[in-house]
Chains A and B, each alone.
Chain A
Amino acid sequence: MTFNRRTFLGSAAVTAGLLAAPMVRAQGKPRVVVIGGGAGGATAARYIAKDSQGAIDVTLVEPTRTYYTCFFSNLYLGGFRDMQSLGHSYGTLAAEYGINVVHDWAVGVDRDAKTVTLAGGSSLPYDRLILSPGIDFVDGAVEGWDLSSQNAMPHAYKGGSQTELLKAQIMAMPQGGTYAMVAPPNPYRCPPGPYERISMVAHTLKEVNPTAKILIADPKENFSKQPLFEEGWSDNYTGMIERIGPDFGGANVAVDPLAMTLSIDGDVNNVDVCNVIPAMKAGRIAEIAGITEGNWAPVNAADMSSKMDENIHVLGDAAAQGDMPKSGFSANSQAKVCANAVRGALTGSTVFPARFANTCWSLIDTNDGVKVGATYEATAEKIAKVDGFVSQTGESDDLRAATYQESIGWYDGIIADMFG
Chain B
Amino acid sequence: MLARLLIVVFLGAAGISHAEVGGDAENGERLFRQCSGCHQVGEGATDRIGPHLNNIFDRPAGAAEDFRYSSGFQRAASGGLVWTYDTLDDFIENPRRLVSNTRMSFRGLSDQKDRDDLLAYLRQFSASPGNIPEAAPTAVAVDHEVAPEVLAIIGDPAYGEYLSGECTSCHQPSGATEGIPSITNWPADDFVVVMHAYKEGVRAHPVMQMMAGRLSNEEIAALAAYFESIE
Contact = CB atoms under 8 A, between A and B. Distances in A.
Interface of A: 47, 51, 329, 332-333, 336, 340, 350, 352, 355, 357, 359, 371, 373-375, 386-389, 396, 398-399, 401-402, 405-410, 412-414, 416-417
B211 A375 contact: yes
A389 B78 contact: no
Contacts of B206: 373, 389
Contacts of A409: 170, 176-180
Interface string B149-191: 0000000001101110110111111101111100000000000
B78 A357 contact: no
B215 to A, nearest CB: 9
A18 B78 CA distance: 50
A410 B169 contact: yes
Contacts of A350: 158
Interface string B65-78: 00000000001011
Nearest to A332: B169
Interface size class of B (residues with CB under 8 A): 20 to 34
B213 interface: yes
23 contacts: A336-B165, A340-B165, A352-B159, A352-B162, A355-B214, A357-B169, A357-B211, A373-B206, A375-B214, A386-B214, A387-B214, A388-B210, A389-B209, A389-B210, A405-B178, A409-B170, A409-B177, A409-B180, A410-B170, A412-B178, A413-B171, A414-B169, A416-B172
A405 B161 CA distance: 27
Closest 9 CB pairs of A and B: A409-B179, A409-B180, A402-B78, A336-B165, A405-B179, A389-B206, A413-B170, A408-B179, A352-B162
Contact of B80 (A355, A359, A396): A396
B102 to A, nearest CB: 17
A406 B180 contact: yes
A338 to B, nearest CB: 11
Given A357-B210, A410-B179, 20 more contacts: A333-B169, A336-B162, A336-B165, A350-B158, A352-B163, A371-B207, A373-B210, A375-B211, A375-B213, A386-B214, A396-B80, A399-B79, A401-B78, A402-B79, A406-B180, A409-B176, A409-B179, A413-B168, A416-B174, A416-B176
Between A336, A350, A407, A414, the greatest number of chain B beta carbons within 10 A of the residue's beta carbon is seen for A336
A213 to B, nearest CB: 34
Nearest to A390: B206
Nearest to A398: B78
Contacts of B176: 409, 412, 416
Residue of A374, A406, A416 with highest tally of chain B CB at under 10 A: A406
B41 to A, nearest CB: 25
Given A340-B162, A405-B179, A407-B179, A417 B210 contact: no
Given A352-B162, A357-B211, A402 B75 contact: yes
Interface of B: 75, 77-80, 158-159, 161-163, 165-166, 168-174, 176-180, 206-207, 209-211, 213-214
The residue among A374, A398, A405, A413 with the most chain B CB atoms within 10 A of its own CB is: A413
Contacts of B163: 352, 355
Contact of A399 (B78, B166, B168, B179): B78
A406 B169 contact: no
Contact of A355 (B166, B170, B171): B166
Nearest to B159: A352
A387 B210 contact: yes
A413 B169 contact: yes
A350 B78 CA distance: 40
A147 B181 CA distance: 43
Contacts of A388: 210
A357 B166 contact: yes
Interface centre among A47, A388, A402 (most CB of B within 10 A): A402
A355 B214 CA distance: 10
Contacts of B210: 357, 373-375, 387-389
Contacts of B177: 409
Contacts of A407: 179
Contacts of A410: 169-170, 179-180
Contacts of A414: 169-170
A402 B163 CA distance: 26
Contacts of A375: 210-211, 213-214
Contacts of B171: 413
Nearest to A416: B172
- Which of B173, B209, B211, B213 has the most chain A CB atoms closer than 10 A to its own CB? B211
